[in-house]
Chains A and B, each alone.
Chain A
Amino acid sequence: MQYTFQFVDSIQASPTVRLDLNNWPFLTDHNGLNIDPAPVRRIVASSMLTDGDLITRTAWGNRTLILPVRLIASSVDAAATQIQALARELCRERNFIRINLGGTKNYYFKTYAAPDYQVKLIRMFADTPTVLLTIPADPFAFGEEQTLSPITVNNDPTAGSNGMFFDVSSVMGDVDTPLNLALVHSAAATRTMAIGLRRRGTVTSTPFRLPVETALTLITDTTLPGADATAIGTGSAYARIAFANTSNPKIRGKFPAAANLNTRGRYRVFARVRKSVITDPIQLWITWGGNGGTGTIVNRAVAVPNGLSGWMYVDLDRMQYPINNDPVSDGMSGIELSVEGHNICIHALRGSGTTNLDVDELFLVPADDEFLFASYFFSPVTESHSAMVIDSTNRMIYAIGGSGQIMSQTLGGIPYLAGAQLTARPGVTNRYYVIQNTNGAGGNDLKGDTVQVTPSYFPAYTWIRPATT
């Protein structure tokens, strides 16, 4: 069986092989070969006040590849030429080693420079040395990039498919891997997009959408004006706060109605709202917790942005189910405990003027795993953008052109990512909830908007790669 140990220039199906370490004149010796999984670093909290040590954080460290390589040359000069080629590869600041131990698929290690190797001369002549390569590398081995089919994410949660979310499932690999997203809008778009990830439990049971007009109770000063095609609510319904008085809350109720394992977690609450007078000041906030009343936890009031005549999403900060302490499971059993919903109360105060505040929906975006704000200006015509790329591998966002080239961006400011490096996890459904246009950054929010998302990733392995996963 011919094994593969090659320095290549990239991770792809047919990279350029720069140096083959298991093909004449090189031979990789299996004795002493070490491609163990990367070590794990741990933060251990211990004291004499408790039994046992608590491991609070873990992270992979770099791995060290140990490759014993024998060189068989016809002369010392020939050996020197090959050793020079080896030295040049080992001196590259970053490099790729492609390995295959007889399986179907290759996998790649991204390495660091390691020109300090040990030389063992078999004989006094230097034409058959054995060198012990000790090469530091990134923690994981990678497979070739997997690009999924484009997904059209609708801005309407009641849409037939992908209503404000998209799924990435059947992820190949052993461990979480950075997820890259190519975003395409139908027209020029300024966005501050919020993406929250849920991938535990049953993702379809995540309490994401809270239809105000049906799930909560309207208090004095709040009515249901009727259908509005621009509203998301059931029958395009929404609630209207008229501010005839200053009493609060305006809307309240228990959500979700029934206890559920999948309710558990921390969420970032977004309200889809609209003002009738765009310059009148409105303070909006929620209180939450408990089974009745107005809730004991008071989130900070936020100003509803001025200047938009249509719907917009306002960030009302975070909320947790359950409130305060959560044991998660029953003692040592590991059996997860269900979580009851609690009251959510919407409060609003008008500082001056005559505006109404229309409240369409609340959205609870999961905020206990990975959460990201992506701010950008997509300009397909003026700037010739083909897509905006959220590059989680390199932790940056940029525009690309039709040939995948990096495009400069002169309009709309510097794009940025704030928050998590998005990842995809094997063995689960990774559901990414999307609020396309937060805080009115991109003008009025239109429920008919869509964004095409093309996910891609490099499968990550601890050391060896199966044929299909």
Chain B
Amino acid sequence: MSLKKVPLQVRVTTDRGDFDITGYCRGVRYRHAIPGGFASVQTSFDRPLAYRPDLIQRYAPLRVYDTRDGSIVAEGRVEDPERAAGDSGEIWGLTAIGGMAHASDFTGPYVAVDNLAESWIRADNTVTKTYMQTQQDSKTALGTGWRLSFERGKTVPVGNHGGIEYRPIREALFQKIGRISYTYDVDNSDTNWRHRLFMVDGGGNDNPVDLGFNSGGGSLSRIVQTDWANGRDRARLQMARNTSSVAITTDDGNVWFSNIVLQAVLKAVDGTDRLPTGSTTQNYAYSTDTLLAEDIIRDLLGRRLTKFDGANATIAASTYGIDLFRYIDGADAAAMMNDLMGLEPNTYWAAWESNSAGKYRFEWTTWPTTVDLLTSTVHGFDSPGSSDELLNVVNVRYRDGNGKTQWTQRTQSVAELTAAGLTRAAMQDMGEEVGTPANSAQFGDNFLAQRITPPNRGRLVVKTPVASLSRGMMLSPHELRPGVLTRVLDVEPSLDALNTVGRDGTTVFRVVSTDYDSDSDSVTLELDSYARSSARALADIQNSPALTRRRI
């Protein structure tokens, strides 16, 4: 009869071979977290330090298997090994970083949707360009946009033109434009004054709009494939003189552009461009000024997150239309997805085990609303308890299209605060990447919704199998993963604990991370938000966004 060992296998694959190190590693510890998924695996083993063993190789896959059913319970790529020599002998330490790290493999500019007027620059291309005047201006109060005109007192020859140009999508490492929409207005009805839209790239251009001022004002949109060839990466809005020259004698020779919104061509999960027609499964209509988080996620999977299994990814449907998603100063996919989590309520992203092709299973999903794990406090539970995250007001700061700092305030009713007659407000910074009035309001509402009940920053230790209602089976400590709700059976119940939607802060908690140690065969669940610890506090300080964003 065999004794009941911890049923795990630790395996490292290098170009020298495939190594099962279960028999001689000094235990294994691994951590999973939301967002992110598999975070890290740590183990160590005894070998002389004088030479590097074949199984040590930077970025080698390290996998931990459940030997009962062959499933992967933890995985990562080996970082620089640690070495130590002392009373315990000569020891190599391996730390493998989980697939979530690939979301930070690449940092660079990215644009999905851009509605900032300051994204445009003056771009005259006529001999008499000094006659051209362009300025950020708006015909309506509090609006943002541009006004094009020719200088009063000058005579504008036929063919003279000038205006503004949009380049950020191109500068975002040669993304392409998928849609443009704007509102325009004119101050006269001279048919020889034209407003034109050009879509340009290095190989040519298309001219989808050429309207005389006699057409008056209006709003329009144009899209790729229908109105210009795929590949155009710059847009030009021009005012031009047609047919006959004119002397400028009044101040009414203006064309106004406002609410200018551009979208980049999106990628499908396989990296191909999503166009309005031509595919049976991946067409994208570019029919609105906003994007859904799910479409940005698909774009990131096809464009940057190539280490994730985009083809088989789980992507939850989104509801909120995002009107600005623009990282001109650069960002990695992890940061962008974390911003999307703030806009789409109750969502998270995670990368888990790899498949036979070496790609990690990816999910963009929502927190469940039903309890999964049935746990108890018998092996350890601590909850420091705090009401400091009950909030009824949040002030969200962002920069508008003219580069000015703006604020959005959102409120909610919190019973405990109302009863105590308290108003507690926090501040959040949307910056210029995603900061718009609509996005700020959405983010603020989601932020407050997570603070209507006390988050239980605590830890729960599990040493025995627990029932998983979603999996229909008993799960051992080493099998537990975050991203689920747990009901802790011997904690004070609340009135609605048996009819839970999401967590209730008293009995039902979100599991946000798990830390497993094979030496004790136990897992520590971090509940709701991360447990208070010095390490966590330092990490929060390091990762918090700058209070001001500077332009380089």
Residues of A within 8 A of B (CB): 40, 43, 45, 47, 49-50, 54, 56-60, 175-176, 192, 194, 266, 268, 288-289, 296-297, 300, 302-303, 318-320, 323-326, 351-352, 367-373, 395-397, 414-421, 423, 425, 427, 439, 441
Task: With CB as the reference atom, state the residue of chain A lying closest to B72.
Answer: A418
Task: With CB as the reference atom, state the residue of chain A lying closest to B519.
Answer: A43
Could you tell me the distance in whole angstroms from the C-beta of B45 to the nearest C-beta in chain A? 13
List 5 A-B pairs, minimum CB-CB distance, nearest first.
Answer: A367-B69, A420-B67, A395-B20, A320-B473, A176-B2
| B385 beta carbon closer than 8 Å to chain A | no
List 10 A-B pairs, Cβ < 8 Å: A45-B522, A57-B6, A58-B5, A266-B68, A302-B312, A324-B469, A324-B474, A368-B68, A418-B72, A425-B1
Could you tell me the distance in whole angstroms from the C-beta of B310 to the nearest C-beta in chain A? 12
| B9 beta carbon closer than 8 Å to chain A | yes
Does the CB pair A297–B472 fall under 8 Å? yes
Could you tell me the distance in whole angstroms from the C-beta of B23 to the nearest C-beta in chain A? 6
Task: With CB as the reference atom, state the residue of chain A lying closest to B5.
Answer: A59
Which listed segment binds A: B163-171, B216-224, B324-332, B376-384?
B376-384
Bound CA span A175–B17, Å: 31
- From 288 to 323 in chain B, residues with beta carbon under 8 angstroms from any chain A beta carbon are 311-312, 314
Contact with A along B451-468 (1 / 0, CB 8 A): 000000000000110011
Does the CB pair A45–B463 fall under 8 Å? yes
| B404 beta carbon closer than 8 Å to chain A | no
Measured between beta carbons, the chain B residues less than 8 angstroms from A420 are: 7, 9, 67-68, 70
Does the CB pair A423–B378 fall under 8 Å? no
Measured between beta carbons, the chain A residues less than 8 angstroms from B463 are: 43, 45, 54, 56
Contact with A along B1-32 (1 / 0, CB 8 A): 11111110101010001111011000000000
> Interface residues of B toward A: which range?
35 or more
Task: With CB as the reference atom, state the residue of chain A lying closest to B470.
Answer: A297
| B520 beta carbon closer than 8 Å to chain A | yes
Q: Which of B5, B7, B69 contacts A318 (CB 8 A)?
A: B69
Q: Which of B3, B65, B69 contacts A266 (CB 8 A)?
A: B69
Measured between beta carbons, the chain A residues less than 8 angstroms from B544 are: none
Does the CB pair B469–A57 fall under 8 Å? no
Q: Which of A289, A395, A418 contacts B23 (CB 8 A)?
A: A395
Does the CB pair B464–A54 fall under 8 Å? yes
Could you tell me the distance in whole angstroms from the C-beta of A295 to the nearest C-beta in chain B? 9
Measured between beta carbons, the chain A residues less than 8 angstroms from B470 are: 297
- With A297-B471, A303-B312, A324-B469 known, 17 other A-B pairs at CB within 8 A are A45-B379, A47-B379, A49-B377, A54-B464, A56-B463, A56-B464, A58-B4, A192-B356, A297-B470, A318-B471, A352-B281, A367-B70, A368-B68, A395-B22, A396-B19, A417-B18, A419-B65
Measured between beta carbons, the chain B residues less than 8 angstroms from A417 are: 11, 18, 20
Task: With CB as the reference atom, state the residue of chain B lying closest to A413.
Answer: B18
Could you tell me the distance in whole angstroms from the C-beta of A379 to the nearest C-beta in chain B? 17
Q: Which of A54, A175, A419 contacts B70 (CB 8 A)?
A: A419
Q: Which of A192, A289, A302, A419 contacts B9 (CB 8 A)?
A: A419
| B397 beta carbon closer than 8 Å to chain A | no
Bound CA span A268–B70, Å: 9
Could you tell me the distance in whole angstroms from the C-beta of A449 to the nearest C-beta in chain B? 20
Bound CA span A414–B61, Å: 13
Does the CB pair A439–B69 fall under 8 Å? no
Bound CA span A139–B471, Å: 37
Bound CA span A60–B377, Å: 30
Bound CA span A45–B464, Å: 9
Measured between beta carbons, the chain B residues less than 8 angstroms from A288 are: 472
Does the CB pair B67–A371 fall under 8 Å? yes
Does the CB pair B18–A414 fall under 8 Å? yes
Q: Which of A373, A421, A441 contacts B22 (CB 8 A)?
A: A421
Measured between beta carbons, the chain B residues less than 8 angstroms from A326 are: 474
Q: Which of B3, B65, B69, B473 contacts A60 (CB 8 A)?
A: B3
Bound CA span A28–B470, Å: 62
Bound CA span A396–B18, Å: 8
Does the CB pair A414–B68 fall under 8 Å? no
Measured between beta carbons, the chain A residues less than 8 angstroms from B471 are: 297, 318, 320
Measured between beta carbons, the chain A residues less than 8 angstroms from B13 are: 414, 416
Bound CA span A415–B18, Å: 7
Could you tell me the distance in whole angstroms from the C-beta of B192 to the nearest C-beta in chain A? 51
Measured between beta carbons, the chain A residues less than 8 angstroms from B312 are: 302-303
Does the CB pair A416–B11 fall under 8 Å? yes
| B236 beta carbon closer than 8 Å to chain A | no
